[in-house]
Amino acid sequence: MGGDERGRPDGRARRKGYHIYILWFVRDGTKYIGYTENLARRMREHLQGKGRYTSGKGEFKLIYVERFEFKQDARRREKYLKSRSGRRYLETII
């Protein structure tokens, strides 16, 4: 499909978006910060063990999501959250 996907009950198009997300791994308490254009697909991939960092880490919980309209904004936010000051910020909200 193109940029807009139809099929919502109200007939409106779904807006394409970009997401940053944080996974928390139950076994060791570590967190993973990621970026995706399709959050549902990316969660399936993590569940299937696809991904260098997350494969083999075991059970996880999705603990945080932010949506952005523009790719560059999402990437900028992901980079910030992975920085020292971004991680300190996350400690105050998670």
What are the domain boundaries of the chain? 18-93
Q: What distances in angstroms separate CA 79 from CA 25, 67, 70, 85, 90, one per listed residue?
A: 20, 15, 15, 11, 13
- The pTM of the full predicted model, rounded to 2 decimals, is 0.80
Assigned CATH class of 18-93: alpha beta
Sheet holding 18-25, edge to edge: 31-36, 18-25, 60-68
pLDDT at 77 over 90: yes
pLDDT at 87 over 60: yes
3-state class of 67 per DSSP?
A: strand
In the block, residue with structure tokens 């193109």: 2
Query: Beta-carbon neighbour count of residue 22 at 10 Å?
Result: 18
